[in-house]
Amino acid sequence: MGERRVRKKGLLSVKIPGLSRTVEEKPAARSKVSIDYPQEGERIHRGHYAVRISGGNGECQAAVDGTDWQNCRSDAGFSWFDWFPESAGTHRITVRSRVSGKWAKTERVCDVE
């Protein structure tokens, strides 16, 4: 009704007539995307590996060693990328996920035995 909203320095100030104080709310923290597993430098075996990804809000894609982006699946509050590494050596996994309408991206390096 008669409240006045003022934004300053990332805070939202709400002044309500008749109250002697101002209520300040911080905006929700911006989430980012992260690869939970495999962990940095982890050695994994050839065959199937489910890469676990946290963050974002739905749309998530992954690529290994610069290949084309592939869609990930969602389950149990995470995104998952089903990877089937066939060649031994060091590989770079890159994931991107929608965060606040924009792509957030991260990478992880792991060794396949």
- Rounded to two decimals, the pTM is 0.69
Per-residue pLDDT, 2: 56
Q: Is the pLDDT of residue 21 over 70?
A: no
Q: Provide the residue ranges of all domains of the chain, joining segments of one domain with +.
A: 1-29, 34-112
Separation of alpha carbons 112 and 76, rounded Å: 26
Which of 10-14, 26-30, 87-91 has the weakest average pLDDT? 26-30
- Phi/psi region, residue 2 (left: phi>0; alpha: psi -120 to 50; beta: rest), is alpha
Assigned token pair, 28:
């929700």
Query: pLDDT tens-digit profile of 22-70?
Result: 555 444 444 588 999 999 878 999 999 999 999 867 789 999 999 999 9
Superfamily of domain 34-112: Immunoglobulins (2.60.40.10)
